[in-house]
Structure formats: structure tokens, C-alpha cells
Amino acid sequence: MIKTPEKITFYDGDCGFCNQSVQFVLKYKKDESIYFSAIQSEFTRELFEENNWQTPDLSTVYFYENGVLHSKSDAGLRISRNLKFPISLFQYLWIVPQFLRDKVYDFIAKRRHRISKGFCVIPDESEAIRFLK
């Protein structure tokens, strides 16, 4: 297994909305520190098993940062901190209680396949190294 990067976004690789979200992060990232791994990948399975984390849910985005796994709205807000201004301002939604943020997250996650269908991430050569398999 490869050395685990400090920041990894785990997403549903079969979800068009999720793949578009990955493309959004790639477009607006501040730097090259975020890596990506489909929840269905061998890398994700092994990392979750090694850390005794619960089996990942395909309707949830996860963000691993400096040894800590975050999910749902917490993951989204932590990802936003790594994006360019003004998108990075979303990180200040921490002031909204987590149970409310996660209700909104769950509402969108439940409808994600209807929001966007059939989109596949095809990274260019410079982005391909950021995808863990």
C-alpha cells in the first residue's frame, strides 16, 4: 500500500453529482494537497479496514485530514477550507449546528442521482496522480 496522503476526499465513484463535485474541487483547489479516492476502490477499502472505521456509505462524502476522518457536512466544510476565495467562505458555516447541516446534506445526498446523471471524472495527466486506486 502507498503512503497515505494527509488529505483525501472519498466519494461515490458511480455518482454523477459526486464526480462533478470532484471536478469542482479540482478546478478551485488552492494547492495540490487533496487526493481523491472512490469509495468503491481497493485503496479506500484497505484504509477503512486498517483504521477500523465503519464501512463507508456511498451516500456520504468523507474527508480524511491529518489522521482524522470527517463525514457529511463536516467533510464538506473542511474541503471548502482548501478551496480558493470566495468558495472558502463556506467554511464559516460551522456556526450552523451540525444536525441542521447534516439534514441539508442528507436531503441532497438522497437526491444526488437525480440531480446529475452519467458524469465520469476523466482527469488530465497532472490530475491523474491525485486519484488513489
58 within some domain: yes
Within-domain flag for 16: yes
> Looking at residues 19-31, what average pLDDT do you find?
92
Residue 11, domain member (yes or no): yes
For residue 128, pLDDT beyond 90: no
| Closest C-alpha among 53, 69, 70 to residue 105 | 70
Of 91 and 119, the structure prediction assigns the larger pLDDT to 91
Question: Model's pTM, two decimal places?
Answer: 0.87
Domain assignment present for residue 2? The answer is no
For residue 121, name the pLDDT band (cuts at 50, 70, 90): low
User: What is the Cα–Cα distance from 79 to 98, expressed in whole angstroms?
Assistant: 16
| Cα–Cα distance for residue pair 53/47, rounded to 1 Å | 8
108 in a domain, yes or no? Answer: yes
pLDDT at 97 over 60: yes
Per the structure, the complete domain to which residue 77 belongs is given by 7-128
Q: What is the 3-state secondary structure (H, E, C) of the chain?
A: CCCCCCEEEEECCCCHHHHHHHHHHHHHECCCCEEEEECCCHHHHHHHHHCCCCCCCCCCCEEEECCEEEEHHHHHHHHHCCECCCHHHHHHHHHCCHHHHHHHHHHHHHCHHHHCCCCCCCCCHHHHCCECC
Share of the chain above pLDDT 70, in %: 90
Tally of domains in the chain: 1
- Tell me which of 25 and 120 has the higher pLDDT: 25
